[in-house]
Amino acid sequence: METASLNAEVERAARFFQVNLDGDVRVQVLRFLAAATDHSWTADSVARELGVASAEAAKALDHLCTRNLLDVRISAELHFRYNPGSEALRDEATAFLDVLDHKPLELAKRLAEQRQEQERAAALQVFVDAFLLRNQEKKDG
C-alpha cells in the first residue's frame, strides 16, 4: 500500500511538472517564490537570488503567470508573488513541491521515463506517417 501511495504522489507531481512547468528554471522560480509568500519579487530580484539571467527569470515568471500560479502587481516594474488562483491548483503545487523536496530521485526517474515514452511515441508516429504516405503514393502512382 505504501508503494502505491508513493507512486501516486510521484505520478501526480510528474503530471503537475508536465502541465505547468516543464523546465528547470521554472521549477527553481516556483520553489523560490513558494518559500517566500510574504514578499513580492521583480524579475531582476528573482534573477539575482537564483543566479540566472534576468531574461530567463522574466520568461519563467511570465510562464508561471499564464499557469495561474502567481499574482502580478504593476508599478514601475512588475512584481510577482506566489499565489495560485484556486485551492485545487495550490494543492497540486504544494504536492509537487513536497515530492520535489522529499523524493527528488523518484520524481526525476518518473520524468525521465515520461520523456522516453514521448520520444518512442514520436518515433512511432514518424514511422506510421511514412508508411501511410508510401501507401498513398502507391495508390496515386
Note the pLDDT tens digit of each residue in 66-83.
999 999 999 999 999 999
pLDDT tens-digit readout, 37-54: 999 999 999 999 999 999
Dihedral of CA atoms 92, 98, 103, 104 in degrees, nearest 10, equals 80
To which residue does cell 516556483 refer?
Answer: 30
3-state SS string for 29-42:
HHHHHHCCCCCCEC
What pLDDT was estimated at residue 114? Answer: 74
Does pLDDT of 140 surpass 90? no
What pLDDT was estimated at residue 124? Answer: 64
Does pLDDT of 115 surpass 90? no
pTM assigned to the model:
0.76
40 Cβ neighbours under 8 A, 6+ residues apart: 71, 73, 79, 80, 81
